[in-house]
Structure 1
């Protein structure tokens, strides 16, 4: 294990890495976007920041993009709240660990209805051979010593106790309980901010979100508001006053072990489509040549042959053969079952797609520009859209599940974000307005008006409301909430 002095050198002298922060992809539990968290952590001089959304990695891509722009190290992880245990934060130090984490998230989500998950303490005694574990115990529960000892026996050197301080009335008791548990289990302690906000200014919005999450209003349930704003990213000087130095240094020990980067990920397609004894390239070429003879029964023009050979060469160079074979298998099934389909988009620029029967556009009759479909410069898989007739699309979906298994196939998700109507309603209810009042306020607002914003219209129509503090908050937080994630849904495709 690297010593703390060496860790300070390796972190550029930066004395802290945030290991537990939620973005607004932990729906209604955070007021900050992944980008805001990354930017703020970089501004504060942190060595790294972990985005650990609850049973999700939904915010990681945007955090990764921002971390590249800022230069701060990003750590990938996820938070799990487990009944009678507390909070478990799992970090992915390697590509293999990331796969483990995603597999567990899938398992926990599949046990519950949409929008929820179920994780048990037994789930953390198996299936995590590469990940790191931070445990924030719920000290109101019994048998924590037995749980801690078992976690240590399984996770060994990859296990830490996690302490977070937000200046509550029971701070002294919680600190002492942590020290006693540490001495009993004999594991190291690290600290984190339990972050829900990038800056202290986001606390009012955070309170609004908390009220929305609990279906209450701050006007009638003031207990839904925060006691303070300590869940924001704090300055290094504040952190040094808050936590023991050795616990701060331990955040760097953990951060140094986390070397996984999203840039390591590549698309991985099924390989079982390739017949035994053949390579993916050879099989794709064989199917393309067969398709060319089917498309051109009077003989394949030399110009078409030259084009598909050029395409096949680039496809091989980019290792996209399994991708084309996967799509070919789907359209083959649809054709055999008499299910109508049509490939569209940039795939129409591909002779290989035409020969495989994915698209119906004859490239000999158009000006083909294959580089619109796939190129070495973009270094990303081509975009092939295939529309199946609506009434029979489910047959194709079930074929995919049968062929690849439900552990390897899934429908894509889409993030539903707040629009004006939903933001206005949810914020209004959180502020104590009734549904009838909100409908009345909204009735004459014209969102298509280019001369006046909806805020200006509301001020003009209902000055008695907008001149009040609550009315001003309705204007302010509705605007802030618009465009932020509300929930996950199934992609319409």
Structure 2
């Protein structure tokens, strides 16, 4: 498979235990050299396991289907199939299905499901139900909530595994039950990966990773525009400028370290070499966090605490991590060295870590490990911390080999962003959807790094975002892919026929044959700027096109121009809102720059001011909600990221504040926060005391020209009908609140 992908120019990278094998490195399955990074070979294969190694390979997410079809073509669908996975009920799906079965309206189940975020078996409080406009005393509603709570965790349906392939020597149906997948040319095995493990069948994981798509696109652009030939294995190593950027938490778009938790960790860990990135990837995980390993490691790394080792034997195991166990392999080695486990027992411990959520057998090793360590002279508190870390790995933890594979992608994406920000921006925009941030934040970040961003235009854009010469530098031209509802085939046709520039909308329509709906979509995207037309003028011309089929030779005649019409100009606020409505971003102005006078009158400071205000003081800020994150290890604490025209603000919401202001936090698009500033090193947070939904301010964006009704209408006075009543054209009205980003929720 790796040889096939290389022949097709598809980027791939082995992860997990494959990175522990020198053979996998030599075969090009992984770009991580296990000899350089001292990785544990037994994690890849061991005599005790008496089974083939588990090799996981990531491929570009846009081209993984090519690899899947290659496997089917090589081995035949009668000998290759994808494993199944059992989808269990979660709170929202349980509410929807039970509500539907009991006859609740779609509106009622929708309102209930929107109140759920992180709801476990404890249910929804009555206050939340009342807040949603429902009666908690209603018998059918109470029954729905009770049954939904019981249903959580039960199997719901059988789905397709993300990429687990089974390849057999004989016919597949002779061993396992199979069925056709919903997708064409795919075969599914009706058993999940645990059933296959129990039978001893070999499974190969063919996985998809968006960052590989981004990097391949970046390498292609680098070669095309700058003549630089690079790949994952040939990127200049250990570049101080890259580590300087990461230490400053300048990591939007960078693989694995762009989350709030990772960006808060970067200035504290201060990575200065590749192995530091391996630790960075692995440390913000439930294993180290639940095992109380993070803060001791940071104190030791910073010289605030002496580096000590419980014994000389464990020094060899823990030397790379300052005496603190952070990786799955270290947990296995501690079990062998300190607790007297045999290698086969340590491997069973590893398996228990991997199946903790589902099987829950890890507790059977607790007494043996803790008692074995204390019997060998180790402190009981240290032994209990080690076991808590192992339990955390059951929730989610990285083996060192896995972290090393991902760290390579962290470094590669950071290097590309640091040295070629315009190429990185184009590559990541063309690889969407992926990552934490929407295209609007990625474009904003590119502009902050000095990249000139040019709007979508019928005479300059392609389907993908492209790069244009700007003296000695390159500018980023946004592509048609960002226009909501645009069809790639139509836009490719437009580009193919653009041998000479389009001079008018009528000419463009005549040459391309695009339907009026597509032309109107381009007009609403303000894509006719090179023709000297703004959005409103372009819409006027599109709606005035005569699309009657022309007689022979009539196409060679110049059509009679329409009488000149003076249209009132759209306000800047209207332009910005329309930009967000059609492309999800605006290069004209940030919405909050237009709302700043109103926010200042309400005493909301710009986000950038938080960096200069003293720690411990009270302040207020406001911004568009980008991300809400509620990690399982954070004891109910929610981390939110807000953005205004000056930058971003990191907000911490404690559980009591969340319950008091739940509706504002979950429902607002523009959020105001009052709280106390907290700063540690260069990491600044605002601890929220009060949250306010300011989304109503967004509705005033179109009124900035002084006309209080300007944004309530999408058409000017000249477009009004004489007869009173509803104008069907008002369906085109864009509500500012509706088009601003909702913010992305993560667990």
- Which TM-score applies when normalising by structure 1? 0.30
Looking at CA atoms only, which structure, 1 or 2, has the larger radius of gyration?
Answer: 2
